[in-house]
Amino acid sequence: MKEPEELTVYIGEKERNSSDTTHCLHSKNAYKVAKITAHNFELSPVQRDIALVELSVNISEEVSTPICMPNEELSLHNVLFATGSGRDSTVPVTLDRSSNNCPVQRVVAQKYASVNETKHEIETITFARSTCEGDSGGPVFQVDEDGRHILVGLTSWGPECTKHTNTNMYSYNVDVRAYVDWASVPLKKGKIAERNHETMSIEHLRKATN
């Protein structure tokens, strides 16, 4: 597993075109990683392909809005959505290429097929296009009647990008509902630490002004 300092997270990138064809993302959207909390991942067969990434700074909702977490009993809709750009080992392969070949994040509709209870995996079937190589870790979500986007899965593995225009291809996604309890522990710790930091800052301010 990579160390936090080896990773960069890009959030809130909306530009589809770039004057520099070698760099598709702007540095102002880059954030450093402070901590990684990974589950007990297994490669063969792929299981528990999930991790939490804590950023070094808080992200304003003006930059990007958060997605809603599910509860363990949430029922899945017949149609789920995934986001991704896709790539292969040579050139960017995207779900919808821009003129300068920069990957473009798109929302892709996928039909819910089944849930593997043993592997905590959601299996989906593509309609026309799918996520592919390079999209792992991206959100799989559904939209409720109030228009809220609710996270239900994470893209894990599926078709190669060279086949991503085919229909009726299976994609396999981590079932986030099975990991709500696991994810809530570090999330709660982060909130407590954040509140403690705010309290300490207030106390320091009071002492400085007395």
SS3 for the chain is CCCHHHCEEECCCCCCCCCCCCCCCCHHHEEEEEEEEECCCECCCCECCCEEEEECCCCCCCCCCCCECCCCCCCCCCEEEEEECCCCCCCCCCCCCCCCCCCCCEEEEEEEEEEECCCCEEEEEECCCCCCCCCCCCEEEEECCCCCEEEEEEEEECCCHHHCCCCCCEEEEEEHHHHHHHHHHHHHHHHHHHHHHHHHHHHHHHHHHC
- pLDDT number for residue 14: 55
Q: With pLDDT > 70 as the criterion, what percentage of the chain qualifies?
A: 61
Mean of pLDDT values over 38-59: 79
Domain definitions of the chain by residue range: 4-182
Q: What percent of the chain has pLDDT over 90?
A: 22
pLDDT digits (tens, 9 = 90+) for 70-98: 999 999 999 899 887 655 434 333 334 33
Mean pLDDT of the chain: 73
The stretch 31-60 carries a mean pLDDT of 82
Q: Which CATH class is domain 4-182?
A: mainly beta
Give yes or no for a contact between 152 and 179, defined as CB atoms under 8 angstroms apart. Answer: no
pLDDT tens digits, residue range 164-192? 555 677 888 999 999 998 888 766 665 54
